[in-house]
């Protein structure tokens, strides 16, 4: 089955056909680095990381670009409040981003371009827009003239009239049209600024991604992704800029993740109802947060709650325990062949779920079915080697695709557990029940539960 993805531009699922066979060019809007990112931001980073991983699993070479907006009004405001320079603020929170994203299992992008390192590309694109009649200069500011782009509104599916009446837009007497937006902002006293043909200033938000995506991925590329709130104005404006300057299609597929809600409201820094990943990892393993974020289809809203995090924690532990049991039997199973057809069915179901617009929720359900089947077989009889190897390999593969490294057991600890179990067995043979019970209690304190079965003693972690 071919990969089907929901394209925001067409509002339907489409077969994914990359421009170049075997290669995917993908741009994901990154953070504005003035604070720690919250769990709502994290959903974007985790979701598109999982999509990237699946594309790689399917054999694609993925060129994955995620930018940093490192000059912005919010960064300047934070700098003024803290006494740091804007560059110091940006550097601090870029480092923090990597620390927190690494904990969530988010792979580094092929490149993480920064606005301040691509000023020449930004200025060049603005010059092109002016020369082609898509932009105009007023007192050192440069604005994009939205009426010059006939398809403006095609991503958000709104007419210019509807956008004018319903959108929150920056009001300025300098604009010819209320929907026109800044490409270059003239410097204000005391603000960080760069030289340009229109005087000192800094770029507007939208032009940054247009210039950096062109530099790293070319005029037209495969996938552009980001949060649902970026559809308008950010991505709409990117399209106007890029297609106006390049006179060619921009991104071929648009993917947008849904919001994370808290108390049924969108989580955001401006609303003050946000929870940072930095704080949450003090309460939960980062893998639990990632599991929670992938537990629903990426386009659907996701409600944050302690109960759902606890469910994610329990589910992840169930998978980890099964992995440990399979690992335990790798060197102990017999060499008889099981029914491999059933095993292969799981791979087909997993791929079917992910091929259907990257449905991680259904993919996780397949993993739970695999775990339940593996546990049933291991608990019922002495498992066969081929069965153990097949289920172990599938579980590791599926979890790796979703970005969950399964922890290997401490070999030295395993050896200690096996030694204590052997001592207990010997005590039971000698009918030294006091000694046997004491060892069982000792193992329980270590978090180990024993199961006395007809095939012998088995153990698992609590």
The number of beta carbons lying within 10 Å of the beta carbon of residue 300 is 10
Lowest average pLDDT, out of 8-17, 130-139, 150-159, 327-336, goes to 327-336
pLDDT in tens, 234-291: 999 999 999 999 999 999 999 999 999 987 777 666 666 779 999 999 999 999 999 9
The Cα 231–Cα 225 span in angstroms is 10
Q: Collapsing DSSP states into helix, strand and coil, what is residue 276? A: strand
The Cα 308–Cα 287 span in angstroms is 14
pLDDT of residue 419: 80
pLDDT of residue 341: 45
pLDDT of residue 423: 85
DSSP class of residue 334 equals: B
pLDDT in tens, 31-42: 999 999 999 999
Q: What are the binding residues?
A: 29, 209, 234, 238, 269
pLDDT band at 88; cut points 50, 70, 90: very high
Q: For 4-19, give the secondary structure using H, E and C.
A: EEEECCCCEEEECCCC
Q: What are the binding residues for ATP?
A: 269
| In the chain, % of residues over pLDDT 90 | 72
First to last CA, the chain: 40
Q: Collapsing DSSP states into helix, strand and coil, what is residue 286? A: helix
Residue with tokens 């603005």: 126
Q: What are the binding residues for Zn(2+)?
A: 29, 209, 234, 238
Locate CATH 3.40.50.620 in the chain: 19-113+258-304
Which residues is 135 bridged to in the sheet? 144
Task: Give 3-state DSSP helix, strand, coil % of the chain, rounded to 5.
Answer: 50, 20, 35
pLDDT in tens, 67-87: 999 999 999 999 999 999 999
Cβ pair 364, 314 in contact under 8 A: no
> Cis (ω within 30 of 0) for the bond into 345?
no
User: Of 437, 405, 414, 409, which is closest to residue 424 (Cα–Cα)?
Assistant: 437
The Cα 225–Cα 316 span in angstroms is 27
Locate CATH 1.20.120.640 in the chain: 307-401
Residue with tokens 């603000």: 191
User: Of 407, 360, 392, 375, which is closest to residue 57 (Cα–Cα)?
Assistant: 360
Burial class (CB in 10 A: 0-12, 13-18, 19+), 387: buried
Pairing of strands 260-262, 302-303: parallel
183 — phi, psi (to 5°)? Answer: -100, -35
Topology (CATH level 3) of domain 19-113+258-304: Rossmann fold (3.40.50)
The Cα 389–Cα 401 span in angstroms is 18
User: Under CATH, which architecture does the 307-401 domain have?
Assistant: Up-down Bundle (1.20)
Lowest average pLDDT, out of 42-51, 166-175, 271-280, goes to 166-175
pLDDT in tens, 413-433: 567 777 888 888 888 888 888
pLDDT of residue 454: 67
Burial class (CB in 10 A: 0-12, 13-18, 19+), 382: middle
């Amino acid at each position: 089955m071919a990969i089907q993805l929901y394209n925001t531009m067409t509002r339907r699922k489409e077969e994914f056909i990359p421009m170049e066979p075997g290669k995917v060019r993908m741009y994901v809007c990154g953070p504005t680095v003035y604070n720690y990112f919250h769990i709502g931001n994290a959903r974007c980073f985790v979701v598109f990381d999982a999509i990237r991983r699946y594309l790689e699993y399917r054999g694609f070479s993925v060129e994955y670009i995620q930018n940093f907006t490192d000059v912005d009004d919010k960064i300047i405001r934070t700098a003024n409040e803290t006494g740091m320079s804007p560059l110091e603020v940006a550097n601090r929170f870029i480092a923090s981003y990597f620390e927190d994203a690494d904990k969530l299992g988010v792979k580094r992008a092929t490149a993480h371009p920064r606005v301040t390192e691509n000023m020449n590309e930004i200025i060049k694109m603005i010059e092109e827009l002016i020369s082609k009649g898509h932009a105009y200069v007023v007192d050192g500011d440069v604005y994009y003239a939205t009426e010059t782009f006939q398809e403006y509104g095609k991503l958000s599916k709104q007419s210019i009239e509807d956008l004018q009446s319903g959108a929150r837009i920056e009001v300025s007497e300098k604009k010819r049209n209320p929907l026109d937006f800044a490409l270059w902002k003239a410097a204000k006293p005391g603000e960080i600024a760069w030289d340009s043909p229109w005087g000192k200033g800094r770029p507007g938000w939208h032009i940054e991604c247009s210039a950096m995506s062109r530099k790293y991925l070319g005029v037209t590329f495969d996938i552009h992704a980001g949060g649902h709130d970026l559809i308008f104005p950010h991505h709409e404006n990117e399209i106007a800029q890029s297609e106006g300057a390049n006179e060619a299609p921009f991104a071929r597929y648009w993917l947008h993740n849904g919001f994370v809600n808290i108390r049924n409201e969108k989580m955001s820094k401006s609303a003050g109802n946000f929870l940072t990943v930095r704080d949450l990892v003090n309460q939960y393993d980062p893998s639990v947060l990632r599991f929670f974020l992938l537990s629903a289809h990426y386009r659907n809203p996701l409600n944050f709650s302690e109960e759902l995090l606890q469910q994610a924690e329990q589910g992840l532990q169930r998978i980890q325990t099964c992995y440990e049991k399979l690992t335990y039997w790798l060197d102990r199973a017999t060499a008889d062949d099981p029914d491999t057809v059933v095993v292969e069915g799981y791979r087909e179901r997993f791929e079917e779920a992910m091929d259907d617009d990257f449905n991680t929720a259904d993919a996780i359900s397949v993993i739970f079915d695999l775990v339940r089947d593996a546990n049933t077989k291991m608990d019922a009889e002495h498992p066969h080697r081929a069965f153990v190897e097949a289920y172990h390999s599938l579980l590791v593969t599926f979890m790796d695709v979703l970005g969950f490294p399964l922890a290997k057991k401490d070999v030295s600890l395993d050896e200690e557990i096996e030694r204590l179990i052997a001592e207990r067995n010997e005590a039971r043979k000698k009918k030294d029940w006091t000694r046997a019970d004491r060892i069982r209690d000792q193992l329980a304190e270590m978090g180990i539960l024993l199961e006395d079965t007809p095939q012998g003693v088995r153990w698992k972690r609590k």
